[in-house]
Structure formats: structure tokens, C-alpha cells
Chains A and B, each alone.
Chain A
Amino acid sequence: MPTARNRKNLNPKLDFIAVMLFSVLVLFGFLNIYSASSGTQPVFQLSMKQVYTKQLIWMAGAFLLIVLVAFSNPNFFEFTGYIFYGITVVLCLAVLFVGRKVSGAQSWFGFGGIGIQPSEFAKFGTALALAKFLGTYGVRFKGWKNIGISLAIFLIPMAIVLKQNDTGSALVFLSFFLVLYREGLPGYFLLGAVWLGILAVLTIVLLAYKLSLITWIVIPLTGIALLLLYLFRKSRFWMGIIVGFVLFSWVFTRLVSFTYKTVLYDYQRDRIEIILGLKKDDKGVGFNLIQSKIAIGAGRWTGRGFLEGTQTKMGFVPEQHTDFIFCTIGEEWGFAGVLLFLAVYLGLLFRLVMLAERQTTNFGRVLGYSVTSILFFHLCINIGMTIGLVPIIGIPLPFVSFGGSSLWAFTLLLFTFLKVDERRLSYA
């Protein structure tokens, strides 16, 4: 007779809602990949030449992963957190030297015809490591040492991925700031980040129009600061804050302007300027964005129908089955389809936050928020870029875009958390 504990392992009770929403996204993703990639082939055929056949194989692999995770001991992930983290970070480093270059980024391992992108798995490793660190008995998100270690855990892999020239994947690591926020990072840090974002955009706009940073940023800022200094003249504390704030803003502006002028490549500058509406370019980078918007717009209320989208099927939209898969959804399923799709996706995120909040361990909660934040960040950037709200940064739409590494990494991420969530039941 198996014990009650053992019976649970043989009979996993993963959160039903989350699993259903996940399944819907993966299957719907496959339909759209099939539509986008079957362009010049008339019939469904199980040939390895077909993109969608590959995706079927990735999906089968993902299913195996799910089974593996479901029948594993959830404590395994907590124990091996640092080890897994170490392995993925080393792989990310290794790929810098022996990896393959794909569209400018040195981020792939090639095995025959199959590519593996370790940076996708590094998110998983980082999530585990951060969860384990903050879940350690007695460690709380306080004190310079703990804060420093928490930051280092995700900023190190981020720096390595940045070195791989894969800006999009590197930016994803910023989503861990959201996790830290939940764990006690003061809210003004996030407000500060928003302020820096505004400042960065303002600086780039001024640079693009060749206007003086002194006239438009320093002088107004100093003016406001002087006024505030007068108002708060009785509080040394606030006066210090104000002076620090102005100095920091100015240094940051200089930093942005330096990065923008000398660090970024021309194509990166172009993308940023086009997205900010500073540059009208229907030919180069802008062509992709225009075609992407036309594709989505062509869907109207109810879409043009499955397999009927000419924009995505005839190759107007770049990378239509990977990063631009949302174009196919928009074109073939229309506004109604998009609404449903967003509802499912955001529903999954809501559900994950609820699951994370019901965790009894810090490890489970931090892992849950890591999963949620990474997915949320991907969703914002990916859809945002296809509809022209953020620069075109090549990152996939989790569960939906074509690609083995990303599908497996996100599946692993999600189901590890769901497995950890299931463990909670056994303590109850």
C-alpha cells in the first residue's frame, strides 16, 4: 500500500485552471504557427522540413517535461536551485565562445539541425536561485548584503546575455524587479524607475532634435529644485533628497546620452527613433512595423478566418511564426479573437498571482511571482512591439511562439511552480 504522500505523487493535483489556460495557449499557438508557416504548402504533412512539424515535436517534448515534473519530488527543485542556476549561467558563458550566431546574437548551441538557447533556461535557473535565496530561513529582503545578493542573482546572467548581443532576452531579467517589489522593495524604487524611463525618452527626443540637454532638462529641473528647496528649507533631510535627486537625474541623462550616441548600433537607434515617432521610415525597420500593423488591422471585428490571412501567409510580416505570431492571431481571428486571447493570457497571470499568494513558503511565493513577472514582461514587450507601442525587440510570446527552447523553458518554469504549489496541499 502506498502512503498518502506517495499516492499524491502518483496522482498529481496540479492547479486545474492554470493547466487549462496553459493548454489553450499552446494549442492555439500551434494553430497559428501552422497557418503562418504553411504558406506555400497546400497540405498538412508530417515532414521535418515543416516548421509546424517541428513545433509538434517541441510540444511532445514539453508534454514529457510536464510528466517528468509532475511525478518528481517538488523538494528536488528547492534543493537543486543553486546547482541549476550555476549550470545555466555557465552554459550562457559557454555559448559566448562556442555558440552559433543567429541574426547577430551569439546565443545558440547547435546540435545538428536543432538549436538550443541557454538564455531561455537561464530565466528558469535564476528564478529558482532567487526563490531559494529569499526562501532561506532567516533571510529577508532587507539589509545591503541581502539586497546585493538578490540583485546579483539576476543581474549577472543579464549581463552575460547582454554580452551575447541578445538585448531582448537580457531585458527580460529586469522583470525580477517586480518580484523584489512584492518581497519588500520600496515602491519609490519603481516610481524612480518610471521617472528614469521618462527621463531617458526625453533625452533621446532632445538628442534626435539636436536640442540642448542643459536648456530643456537641467534648467527646468534646477528651477523646480530651487522652489522645492525653498519650500522644504526647514528640513535638512528633504533638502538632501532634492539635491541628490537632481544630481542623480543629471548624471543619468548624461549616461543615456553617452549610451545613445556611442554604445548603441545604428539599427538600434533607428528602432528607438521610429518607435518614438521621431523618424518616418517606411522602408527599412519601419517596413516591418507597418506590415505588422496592417496584418493585425486587417482582422477587423471577426478576423479573416483560419488560414486566410494574406499578410502573414505571404511573407509580408517578418518572422511571422516566431516573434510576430500575434500578427497571425490579429489577422485571422480579429478583434473578437484578440479579446479572448488576451483574456486567457491575463487570466493565467491573475491565476498565478493568486497561487503565489497562497504559498506557505517564501520559496514558493518568490518562484510564483518570478514566473508571473517573466510571463508578464514577455507579453508586454512582444505584443507591444507588434502593435507599435514599444521598440521591435525580438523576444517570443511564451507558449504561443514557435521555438523549442522557449516553449520548454516556459513550460518548465510554469510547471515547476505548479508542482511546488501542489506541495502546499501536502502540508495542509
Chain B
Amino acid sequence: MNPLSNRRYAFFFMFAFIGVIFVVRIFSLQVLDEGNYKRAVNNALKKITIYPSRGIIYDRHGKLLVYNGPVYDLIVFPGELKGIDTGGLCTLLHMDRREFDKKLEQARIKARTQRRRDNSFNKSATFLPNLPLADYTRIQENLYRYKGFYLEQKTDRLYGNEAAAHLVGYIGEVTEKMLAQDAYYKNGDLAGITGIERGYEKYLRGKKGVRTVLQDRFYTEKGSAEGGRFDSSALAGPDIYCSIDLSLQQFGEQLLQGRIGSIVAIEPSTGEILALINKPDYRPDLLIGPNRNRHFQELITNPGKPLYNRAIRGVYPPGSTFKPVIALIARQEEVLSPATTHGCAGGYHMGSLTVGCHPHFSPTNLAQSLAISCNAYYCQVFRDIIDNPNYGNVRNGWSRLETYLRSFGLGSRLGMDIPGEVSGNIPTLSYLDKRHGNKWRSSTIISLAIGQGEILLTPLQMANVATIIANRGFYYTPHAIHGIGTQMFKPESLRTLHRTMVDTVYFESIIEGMADVMQPGGTAWASAISSIPMCGKTGTSQNPHGEDHSLFIGFAPRINPKIAIAVVVENAGYGATWAAPIATLMMEHYLKGSQAATEAPHLLKKLNVVPETHADSTQQKKP
């Protein structure tokens, strides 16, 4: 026999060797790795989302602001499409063939992406989102003819009221970024984009349910998979009671109508925002329904910037409303007492430097300086703080002052519970160095004393300053909710008290001066409401781009305050002219209740406002 014949055993060995390798490998795939079976089962499941109803939003007294209505998504499972009557479907959906093909191609791509992400087979994609009820009825009747197309119900927002658009925010289709960050979302979902809708999205959205349907190879549904073991029902999101007082909010929107500006009112004892008003604003119901994207484009390009939440995003020099803060810090630093007097000769003069002041009697003490808003007084107090010999030099002095200011929540975000807040500006040492070179002195930055220059505050921060003074030294992070769900839950962070570096004992002398602002001779005397003891401070914010902004901060009543407020009216001149009457009317409205008539109709008239809510009482007066 040919000796090469023995090489047959090498062949036998090869066959056996490969056989063993295959068997071991297949054994590990089939028997050891149980996951493959689950993956295969999962692949064959069709998941149909059950959308929960989104939490409803009420005002603090339970008045309806935002609720839900059904809308429908036409979804498509591209894998199931086979020989459907495209022409008929186009007619049903009121679209032409080209648009249909384009949308189908987009849906295919979306479904493929989703399929690869989940590593599963039969994935749907939204074909036409947010169809109203009328379309739903029409399409639903005929849809059985078009295999692969289904209607999914979800909820869109409806508005019980057009008020507080910026605070409540709006919902919209999830962005690519949200899809990437949170696996909860799928294409075409609606989610909060701004305001409370965004800030409390995790609560409001509830929890989606899922119905898993077993399909056989003909895509025919064969009932729930494994007896419904994978199914879950949708869990509605809890309702949210937002912090605003709807009546106050509406009144404020009326007062600010036709102007540009912001009003922020805070309940001092809790930090809850009672009203947050921006003008111009928008009708929230523009941003729902199938036309939301078109309306959004119109709003975003509108030169009046109706989507701009200037209450938390706009920054303004605080002007004279900053003087109480300077005075408080000086008292704590013990460089100022209520009896301290400074003279004023038409302003503050120092070498070639002059900070102008309006004509008034001189000298003034602390309370008088606030009541008439003397610039010279605060230039002197400011210098006493930062040139204090205890700190050695002006740099240390400024650092000290800056630390105080930051304890008032200035120069950084307050951490409000709706997104978009900006920090404003409190100059740091390096900022001042960059601005003025290293050689600056107290006289270089003297305009900071009267709230001009590089100091910038948001209306929210101004209202928070008013809150701190009303509370005599502390604040809670301002927030937009009164409570979540029936338990009125509120996160711990919103119940944490923040104390400033100024002790309570020093506040009364400043409050005295702010009360005098509303007295005869005070800058806001013309706006006073005689039956309510109010405290306030007017301000004028220099605006390099046009007419100055009119500012006012205040609170009422003086003892045990219930409301603190800041008003900014852009390009409106002196604070006393426009901001002060708006603020005092707001405080009166809140304290007396919405039904009571104002005792200062002359202020309404001055503001050119016809009081809608008081229609009843005016009628009664007519004979």
C-alpha cells in the first residue's frame, strides 16, 4: 500500500477537529447563552406605546391653567408595508404623491435608526404627528385598508387661560439632543421645552405604558406577548400647582400691556413667585397642534422677541434700587448709622470727578437719603465701605463688598426651577482690572455706588433683593411651584433658607427710609396707596441705546410682608413715573383681593388701563 494512504487519517482528524469546534461553539450559543432566545423573542415583539396623560397645571388657588386634549400620531411600521394602495392613502391624508414618498422615506430612515439602536426588527416611526380629532375620525375609519399604518393617541396641551405663557412654557417635539440623552423618549414624542413644562418635565410627563404584541410571520397580531407579562399601563403625570396667583398675573399683564418690560412678584416667606410677567409675550395656544412649528418660526423671527423671558434672561443696571443694598452693607460694616449725614451740592464732587444729583435739601440722614434718592450720599457711603482702612487697600475693600453682594444672590444664577436664567454681573477684581487697568481707585468705580456701570441684575434678582429686605435678611430660591400632586410636594432645595451676610438688626433703618419713599417728599409719593403701608425704592437704569429704563422694587405691608415686587419698564424714563404705580397697584391688588376696587383709579388712568376686573363696581356707580 502506498504510504501516502496514511494521510487519510489527517483528513479524518481535520473533520473531527472542525466538528468538535463547531459543536462547542454552537453549544455555547444555543445552550449556555440564554440571552439569544430572549433577544429573538424580543425582536419579534411589536411594541405599541400607551401615552400617559400629562400632569395638569393649576395656579396656586387651583384655577386651571393648562390641561390636555387628545391628538393623534399616524405611525408607520415600514417593515409591514407591502403593496398598499398609495393613491388611496394619499387621498385620505390629503397629500400628493411626492410629499407622501418623501415622508415615507424619512420614516424609513427613522425606523431604521431606532431599529439599529434597539437591535430589534419591527420598529415604527411617526409619519404624520399631532393630528387633531377631526382628522383622526376620518382616517381611522379607512385605515384598516392600509397595512402598516396605525394611529397612536397621545396628549397635547390645551390652555384654560392665556396668562403666564413664559412661566408655564410650552411643549414640543423632542429634539435630537433629548433623544440622545434620555432613552425614555422616542421620535415624535412631545416634551417640555421651556418654563414649568421643562423644569418639571420629569414629573409632568408621567410614565409611558407599553403593550407588547406577539406577531406571527404574517405580522398578524397574536395577542399580548406571554400573557401580558411585558405589558405596562401608562401612569399619568402628577398635577402641578404653580405658584402664581392667576388674578394678580392677569392684572399685571394688563398693566404692562403695550409696554416693554417685566414684573416679578414673590411671596417673601416662601420664595414662591406670585406673578412673572413679560411684555411682549405670546398666546400659548400658538405653540400646540399641527401648526406649532410654523408659529414657532414666526415668533422666533418677530422683532419684538415675544418668546424672550426677560424676567430671568434680561439684565439691567439696577440704578437707585441698588442704594438700599449699599446702605445695608455699610450698616453691617458699621461705617454708617441712621444718624449719619452727608451734604449734597448738586452732586458728589471729587477733584475733576462729579456724580450729579437732583436739587434737594442738604444735608440728609440715612432715611432721608433713601426717600429722596441722593446720589452724593451713596457715593460717600460706598467709599466708606471700600476705602475702609481696616482692609488696607481698595482691592480688599471691594472684595469684601463683592462677597456681601453675592450673599444677596447677585452675580450668579439664583437657581430658579425653570430653565434659562442668567447670572447678571457683579464685577470681580480681575474684571475691574481688565476694565480699568491695575491702577483703579474707589473714585474710578464710583458709579457702582448708585447701581450704574458694570453691575447688572435680572428682574428676578431685583425682586429677590426686595424679598430679602422684606424678610430682614434671608430668602428662599425663587420658584414657580406651590406644590406637586395631591401631597403638595416641594423639593428640598426649594425649602432651604439662604441667609445674607447682613444681620436682621440692621434692616429696620433701611426699611424706614424705603417707607419714606412712599410718603410726602418721597420719590414714589405720587404712587402711594394710602391704606397700605408700603416700602419701596425707585430707580432709573441708564440705557446707552436709548431712553432710560424705569425701575421699582418694593414690598408690602411693612410689617410681616406678603408680597415683594420688582418692576422694569424699558425706555420709560424715571422709575417714579411708570414702574412705581404699576408696582403699588399690583401690591394693592394682591393684598386686597381681586374683587376689591382700587382706591387709586388715578393711577390706572395714568397708566391708560381700563380695569376689566372691576367692571361690576363701575357699573354700580352709574345711576
Contacts and interface: CB of A to CB of B under 8 A. Distances in A.
A420 interface: no
B44 A314 contact: yes
A295 B22 contact: no
The main secondary structure of chain B at its interface with chain A is: helix
A320 B494 CA distance: 59
A8 interface: no
Nearest to A362: B2
B31 interface: yes
Contacts of B41: 298, 310
Interface string B40-51: 110110000000
Given A294-B39, A298-B40, A314 B217 contact: yes
3 A-B pairs with least C-beta separation:
A297-B36, A298-B40, A310-B44
Give the interface centre of A40, A295, A310, A346 by most chain B CB atoms within 10 Å.
A310
Contacts of B219: 40
Contacts of B25: 387, 389
A331 B41 CA distance: 12
Interface of A: 38-40, 42, 178, 181-184, 282-283, 287, 290-291, 293-301, 307, 310-311, 313-316, 330-331, 334-335, 338-339, 342, 346, 349-350, 353-354, 356-357, 372, 376, 379-380, 383-384, 387, 389
A255 B219 CA distance: 51
Contacts of A181: 7, 10
Give the interface centre of B10, B33, B39, B219 by most chain A CB atoms within 10 Å.
B39
Given A354-B8, A389-B25, 6 more contacts: A184-B4, A293-B36, A297-B30, A310-B40, A311-B44, A387-B22
A300 B31 CA distance: 5
A357 B37 CA distance: 44
B40 A283 contact: no
B31 A335 contact: yes
B18 A380 contact: yes
Interface stretch (B115-123, B168-176, B591-599): B115-123
B21 interface: yes
A297 B33 contact: yes
Contact of A316 (B4, B7, B33, B43): B43
Nearest to A284: B116
Interface in B431-469: none
Interface in B5-60: 5, 7-8, 10-12, 14-16, 18-19, 21-23, 25-27, 29-31, 33, 35-37, 39-41, 43-44
Nearest to B5: A357
B23 A339 contact: yes
Interface residues on B, range: 35 or more
B82 interface: yes
Nearest to B112: A283
Contact of A349 (B15, B29, B30): B15
Contact of B19 (A346, A353, A357): A346
B23 to A, nearest CB: 7
A406 B382 CA distance: 96
A380 to B, nearest CB: 6
Contacts of A184: 4
Interface in B277-315: none
A294 B36 contact: yes
B88 interface: no
A353 B8 contact: yes
B144 interface: no
Give the interface centre of A290, A294, A330, A334 by most chain B CB atoms within 10 Å.
A294
B29 A297 contact: yes
A282 B119 contact: yes
6 contacts: A294-B40, A297-B33, A300-B31, A311-B44, A316-B43, A346-B15
B4 A342 contact: no
B184 interface: no
Given A300-B31, A353-B12, A389-B25, A182 B37 contact: no
A335 B36 contact: no
Contacts of A314: 43-44, 121-122, 217
B520 interface: no
A322 B31 CA distance: 25
A313 B4 CA distance: 48
B121 A182 contact: no
A129 B580 CA distance: 107
A350 B26 contact: no
Give the interface centre of B21, B26, B116 by most chain A CB atoms within 10 Å.
B26
A376 B15 contact: yes
B40 A287 contact: no
B43 A294 contact: yes
A316 B116 CA distance: 11
A313 B44 CA distance: 10
Given A310-B40, A311-B40, A316-B43, A330 B121 contact: no
Nearest to B31: A335
Interface in B75-130: 79, 82, 116, 119, 121-122
Contact of A301 (B14, B31, B217): B31
A192 to B, nearest CB: 15
Given A182-B4, A300-B31, A42 B40 contact: no
A143 B18 CA distance: 33
A293 B33 CA distance: 10
A349 B18 CA distance: 12
A276 to B, nearest CB: 16
Contacts of B7: 181-182
Given A297-B29, A335-B27, A357 B121 contact: no
A307 B15 CA distance: 31
Contacts of A315: 79, 121
A357 B218 contact: no
A350 to B, nearest CB: 6
Give the interface centre of B8, B16, B36, B116 by most chain A CB atoms within 10 Å.
B36
A282 B120 CA distance: 11
Contacts of B31: 300-301, 335
A290 B119 contact: yes
Contacts of A290: 119
B122 A296 contact: no
B536 to A, nearest CB: 64
Nearest to A307: B217
Given A40-B82, A282-B116, A376 B30 contact: no
Contacts of B22: 342, 383-384, 387
B218 A293 contact: no
Contacts of A387: 22, 25-26, 29
Contacts of B33: 297
A290 B219 CA distance: 22
A176 B454 CA distance: 86
B116 A39 contact: no
A316 B39 CA distance: 11
A346 B37 CA distance: 27
A356 B7 CA distance: 12
Interface in B232-271: none
